[in-house]
Amino acid sequence: MGKDDEREGEEPVQIPIDGTLDLHLFQPRDVPEVLDAYLDACREKGILHVRVVHGKGTGFQKRRVEELLARDPRVRSFRPGGAGAGGWGATLVDLEPLAGR
């Protein structure tokens, strides 16, 4: 059974590009691809401040998101969400603008 066979029957998740990405909607295996595409879409729309909601849980997803962000050249900085922004269950990301903007 190939990767595509595993996803057969799954409906694509439609999410608004509004600066908040809730990873609860996605399978953990899809997080790197989803995060990458979402950051691209935000930059294309001029959204440079993004909130990534990964949940609190054991902290695995938070660490994974931070690892992906740490090596992403589009990311200017990131930090835990503060009060009113998801606290430990979210990460706030500042993106570099697209060239020419």
Residue 41 is predicted with a pLDDT of 97
Domain of 74, CATH number, reads 3.30.1370.110
Q: How many domains does the chain contain in total?
A: 1
Residue 3 is predicted with a pLDDT of 46
For residue 46, tell me if it sits in a domain: yes
**pLDDT, tens digit only, all 101 positions of the chain:** 344 444 566 677 688 999 999 999 899 999 999 999 999 999 999 999 999 999 988 889 999 999 999 999 999 999 999 888 888 899 999 999 998 76
Which domain does 79 fall in, by range? 25-95
CA distance 94 to 86: 16
For residue 6, tell me if it sits in a domain: no
Q: For the whole model, what pTM was predicted?
A: 0.84
CA distance 49 to 13: 22
For residue 87, tell me if it sits in a domain: yes
- Phi, psi for residue 42 in degrees, rounded to 5: -65, -45
Residue 87 is predicted with a pLDDT of 83
Question: Is-contact 38 65, C-beta < 8 A?
Answer: no
For residue 7, tell me if it sits in a domain: no
For residue 1, tell me if it sits in a domain: no
For residue 63, tell me if it sits in a domain: yes
